[in-house]
């Protein structure tokens, strides 16, 4: 009796121990992380603490930013959110000097680490080896990375903070038809081999930017191949027999092949930007963005891996949190429409950030204050068309008119509504400031209390921005110095691959 009781106690104890072990194993099992990019090139800047709250509400534990603004970093203190900060391309050259790097690390990393800001990655540049921005390549970026990582190591952050460089897919040869044909571009091959080996020694991952919507369009493949839900009848079988049913796997394994050819086998790959725009590009829409993420996120949490590396966890950073109306649009209107959220912190579509694929809207930002219900429209005076066109063009140079571009949500407007749209965007952007000034337009504008939106074309009222963004087109020097500066040199190259992408508004 006693011994049988003892036996069952032992069985129960054993079971408890085993359960604990299994649980421990499960929680220790490294799972792909879903983070998000937060760019702030916008007149509608959300308050940083509001964004921290939004991320926590949604269970997002990693954020990547395109600058290292002090006021923003402060907001992440004790939040438990992992943070990536970026050294913009324009200041890379200054950081070839180890002393400058030491100062930078003191001010932007150590100071905030002390305030319990969990900085995990320092991004050295934004796609510095891409050729798609003004034909500029920052060949010395890898030298800066070495100085930065060495500086971090010397400061005692070897294990905690990694220097990384994000890579747009044009760092690879572009004429490949199978992933195993991938290699780095000849002009950067030696640099990349050296860089990857250095990063491997420091146990740092390789960051790649992956945009299936473009890649598929560029290659002229079935648009369905851009999604991960296996609806495409198009697939690619590599020389080794591995089958590719979507562009994400294709791109991931192309990078993996190039890295292996550089002599490194088990480097961790992180998708530093992966997303789907909602306007201004073929197949860009909230519906398609929802569908894309609905298969991508469960894919990440499933740890399924890719054909070439099954079972490998993949970290991704969704691109991006909200629209940015000051981003350059030299590659197309879509550059301003990457947001999962509208500028006002309202989600555009359903997405389950936990990766469980549930049909749910994410949390809306709390505490956003909108400006009054006032719009500025064209008063109908067509007596001087030259003047009218000039005012229209000037408004669109300052404010965001990308929805008017072909394929955009307001592309169906007639000439006069076009003008109203432009006037309103500038009026809102200037904070509805002194109506007889910001809605003057040489006597062509008038303020109205009724919403002039037309169908799917929304005439927005903007929010009270937390701080002023570097406005207009001439960021230049202000950008480099400003604490709130952001890199304008980032996101979505491709100009050279997509000549059909007219830079509509640049010419306006
Ligand atoms: C980019 O630069 C290369 C050489 O520096 C030049 O041959 C090429 O024409 C340039 N391309 C563009 C689009 O400016
Ligand atoms: C891609 O182009 C390069 C240079 O033009 C060539 O050497 C290489 O063989 C091509 N690769 C494939 C897979 O066609
Ligand atoms: C797609 O197909 C692959 C293998 O062909 C399978 O592993 C995966 O679960 C499928 N995904 C979906 C969303 O059906
Ligand atoms: C894929 O093929 C099936 C059967 O041939 C066809 O019914 C379906 O419409 C195709 N799907 C697409 C997206 O072309
Ligand atoms: C139209 O307006 C412009 C200034 O925008 C002015 O120079 C021009 O004289 C005007 N034309 C007429 C016919 O009033
Ligand atoms: C409205 O403005 C857009 C952007 O400038 C332009 O492409 C379109 O042709 C304009 N529509 C009309 C009717 O003028
Ligand atoms: C704006 O100008 C109009 C007409 O010129 C005038 O009636 C109105 O009082 C002015 N509004 C303000 C706020 O100054």
Taking the centre of ligand 2 as the mean of its atom positions, its distance from the CA of residue 333, in whole angstroms, is 32
Taking the centre of ligand 1 as the mean of its atom positions, its distance from the CA of residue 422, in whole angstroms, is 35
User: End-to-end alpha-carbon separation of the chain, Å?
Assistant: 92
pLDDT at 7: 54
Q: Which is more confident, 475 or 182?
A: 182
pLDDT at 495: 32
From CA 180, how far away is CA 62, in angstroms rounded?
Answer: 31
Best residue for ligand 4 mutational test, from 229, 233, 235, 291 (most atoms within 8 Å of Cβ): 233
Q: Which is more confident, 295 or 506?
A: 295
pLDDT at 499: 28
CA-based radius of gyration for the chain: 25
Question: Does the C-beta of 404 come closer than 6 Å to ligand 6?
Answer: yes
63 has pLDDT over 50? yes
Banded pLDDT at 6 (limits 50, 70, 90): low
207 and 156 in a common domain: yes
pLDDT at 14: 57
Average pLDDT value for residue range 82-103: 94
pLDDT at 99: 95
- Please answer whether residues 208 and 271 qualify as being in contact, where contact means their C-beta atoms are separated by less than 8 angstroms: yes
208 and 63 in a common domain: yes
Residue nearest to atom 7 of ligand 7 (CA): 436
pLDDT at 331: 76
Taking the centre of ligand 4 as the mean of its atom positions, its distance from the CA of residue 233, in whole angstroms, is 6
312 and 395 in a common domain: no
Residue nearest to atom 5 of ligand 7 (CA): 436
Residue pLDDT, tens place only, 41-51: 988 888 899 99
- Please answer whether residues 44 and 344 qualify as being in contact, where contact means their C-beta atoms are separated by less than 8 angstroms: yes
pLDDT at 367: 87
475 has pLDDT over 50? no
Banded pLDDT at 330 (limits 50, 70, 90): confident
391 and 332 in a common domain: no
Question: Does the C-beta of 224 come closer than 6 Å to ligand 4?
Answer: yes
Taking the centre of ligand 1 as the mean of its atom positions, its distance from the CA of residue 135, in whole angstroms, is 6
Residue nearest to atom 2 of ligand 2 (CA): 175
121 and 245 in a common domain: yes
Q: Which is more confident, 208 or 434?
A: 208
Question: Does the C-beta of 230 come closer than 6 Å to ligand 3?
Answer: yes
Residue pLDDT, tens place only, 226-245: 999 999 999 999 999 999 99
Peptide bond into 320 cis (omega under 30): yes
Boundary (domain end) residue, out of 287, 321, 336: 336
Q: What is the CATH number of the domain that holds 269?
A: 3.20.20.80
- Model pTM above 0.85: no
Which ligand 4 atom is the nearest neighbour of the CA of 233?
1
Pocket lined around ligand 5, Cβ cut-off 6 Å: 384, 386-387, 390
Q: Does 4 fall in a domain?
A: no
28 has pLDDT over 80? no
- Please answer whether residues 425 and 399 qualify as being in contact, where contact means their C-beta atoms are separated by less than 8 angstroms: yes
262 has pLDDT over 90? yes
Taking the centre of ligand 4 as the mean of its atom positions, its distance from the CA of residue 227, in whole angstroms, is 15
375 has pLDDT over 80? yes
pLDDT at 474: 27
Question: Does the C-beta of 178 come closer than 6 Å to ligand 2?
Answer: no
Average pLDDT value for residue range 153-171: 96
284 and 152 in a common domain: yes
434 and 309 in a common domain: no
Residue pLDDT, tens place only, 197-225: 999 999 999 999 999 999 999 999 999 99
Question: Tokens representing 247?
Answer: 């562009």
Boundary (domain end) residue, out of 312, 336, 360: 336
Q: Does 62 fall in a domain?
A: yes
Residue nearest to atom 6 of ligand 4 (CA): 233
Boundary (domain end) residue, out of 336, 366, 398: 336
Which ligand 7 atom is the nearest neighbour of the CA of 435?
13
- Please answer whether residues 259 and 23 qualify as being in contact, where contact means their C-beta atoms are separated by less than 8 angstroms: no
pLDDT at 492: 34
Q: Does 478 fall in a domain?
A: no
Question: Does the C-beta of 229 come closer than 6 Å to ligand 4?
Answer: no
118 has pLDDT over 90? yes
Taking the centre of ligand 7 as the mean of its atom positions, its distance from the CA of residue 507, in whole angstroms, is 34
419 and 302 in a common domain: no
Q: Does 251 fall in a domain?
A: yes
- Please answer whether residues 391 and 441 qualify as being in contact, where contact means their C-beta atoms are separated by less than 8 angstroms: yes
Taking the centre of ligand 6 as the mean of its atom positions, its distance from the CA of residue 290, in whole angstroms, is 29
Could you tell me the residue range of the domain that residue 254 belongs to?
A: 29-336
Taking the centre of ligand 6 as the mean of its atom positions, its distance from the CA of residue 3, in whole angstroms, is 88
pLDDT at 470: 43
Q: Does 434 fall in a domain?
A: yes
Counting Cβ atoms within 10 Å, is residue 111 exposed (0-12), middle (13-18) or buried (19+)?
middle
pLDDT at 16: 56
CB atoms within 10 A of CB 110: 16
Average pLDDT value for residue range 395-409: 90
Q: Which is more confident, 482 or 121?
A: 121
pLDDT at 136: 85
Segment among 121-125, 259-263, 492-496 with least mean pLDDT: 492-496
249 has pLDDT over 50? yes
26 has pLDDT over 50? no
Taking the centre of ligand 2 as the mean of its atom positions, its distance from the CA of residue 175, in whole angstroms, is 6
202 and 262 in a common domain: yes
Taking the centre of ligand 3 as the mean of its atom positions, its distance from the CA of residue 289, in whole angstroms, is 19
Best residue for ligand 2 mutational test, from 170, 172, 175, 178 (most atoms within 8 Å of Cβ): 175
Residue nearest to atom 1 of ligand 3 (CA): 230
53 has pLDDT over 90? yes
Which ligand 1 atom is the nearest neighbour of the CA of 131?
1
From CA 373, how far away is CA 450, in angstroms rounded?
Answer: 8
485 has pLDDT over 70? no
Q: Which is more confident, 224 or 432?
A: 224
Q: Does 79 fall in a domain?
A: yes
pLDDT at 508: 16
Number of domains observed in the structure of the chain: 2
Residue pLDDT, tens place only, 316-325: 999 999 999 8
157 and 91 in a common domain: yes
Segment among 200-209, 303-312, 329-338, 494-503 with least mean pLDDT: 494-503
166 and 97 in a common domain: yes
Q: Does 16 fall in a domain?
A: no
Percent share of the chain, pLDDT over 70: 85
Mean pLDDT of the chain: 86
329 and 248 in a common domain: yes
Phi-psi region of 115 (alpha: psi -120 to 50; beta: other; left: phi over 0): alpha
Q: Does 9 fall in a domain?
A: no
């Amino acid at each position: 009796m006693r011994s049988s009781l003892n036996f069952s106690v032992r069985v129960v104890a054993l079971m408890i121990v085993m359960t604990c072990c299994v649980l421990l194993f499960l929680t220790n099992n490294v799972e792909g992380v879903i983070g998000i990019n937060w760019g702030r090139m916008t007149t509608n800047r959300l308050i940083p603490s509001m964004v921290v709250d939004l991320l926590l509400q949604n269970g997002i534990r990693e954020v990547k930013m395109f600058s290292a603004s002090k006021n923003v970093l402060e907001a992440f203190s004790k939040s438990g959110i992992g943070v990536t900060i970026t050294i913009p391309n324009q200041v890379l050259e200054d950081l070839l000097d180890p002393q400058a790097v030491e100062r930078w690390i003191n001010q932007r990393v150590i100071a905030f680490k002390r305030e319990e800001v969990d900085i995990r990655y320092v991004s050295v540049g934004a796609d510095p080896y891409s050729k798609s921005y003004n034909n500029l390549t920052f060949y010395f970026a890898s030298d800066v990375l070495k100085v930065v990582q060495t500086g971090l190591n010397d400061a005692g952050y070897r294990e905690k903070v990694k220097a990384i460089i994000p890579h747009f897919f044009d760092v690879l040869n572009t004429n490949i038809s199978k992933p195993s044909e991938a290699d780095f571009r000849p002009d950067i091959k030696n640099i990349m081999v050296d860089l990857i080996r250095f990063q491997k020694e420091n146990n740092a991952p390789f960051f790649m930017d992956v945009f299936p919507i473009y890649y598929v369009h560029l290659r002229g493949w079935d648009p369905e191949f851009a999604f991960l839900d296996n609806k495409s009848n198009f697939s690619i079988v590599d020389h080794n027999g591995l089958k590719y049913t979507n562009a994400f796997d294709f791109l991931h394994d192309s990078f993996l092949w190039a890295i292996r050819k550089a002599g490194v086998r088990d480097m961790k790959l992180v998708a530093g930007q992966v997303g789907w725009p909602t306007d201004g590009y073929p197949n860009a829409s909230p519906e398609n963005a929802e569908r894309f993420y609905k298969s991508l996120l469960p894919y990440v949490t499933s740890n399924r891996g890719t054909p070439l590396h099954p079972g490998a966890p993949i970290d991704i950073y969704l691109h991006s949190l909200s629209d940015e109306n000051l981003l350059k649009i030299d590659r197309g209107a879509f550059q301003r429409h990457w947001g999962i959220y509208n500028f006002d912190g309202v989600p555009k579509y359903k997405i389950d950030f936990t990766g469980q694929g549930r049909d749910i809207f994410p949390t809306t930002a709390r505490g956003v204050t909108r400006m009054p219900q006032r719009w500025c429209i064209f008063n109908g005076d067509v007596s001087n068309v030259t003047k009218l066109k000039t005012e229209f063009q000037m408004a669109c140079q300052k404010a965001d008119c990308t929805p008017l571009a072909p394929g955009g949500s307001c592309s169906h407007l007639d000439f006069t509504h076009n003008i109203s749209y432009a006037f309103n965007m500038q009026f809102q952007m200037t904070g509805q400031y002194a109506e007889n000034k910001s809605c003057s337009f040489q006597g062509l504008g008038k303020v109205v209390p009724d919403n002039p939106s037309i169908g799917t074309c929304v005439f927005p009222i903007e929010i009270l921005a937390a701080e002023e963004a570097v406005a207009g087109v001439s960021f230049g020097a202000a950008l480099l110095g400003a604490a709130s500066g952001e890199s304008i040199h980032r996101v979505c190259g491709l100009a050279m691959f997509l000549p059909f992408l007219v830079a509509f508004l640049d010419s306006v």
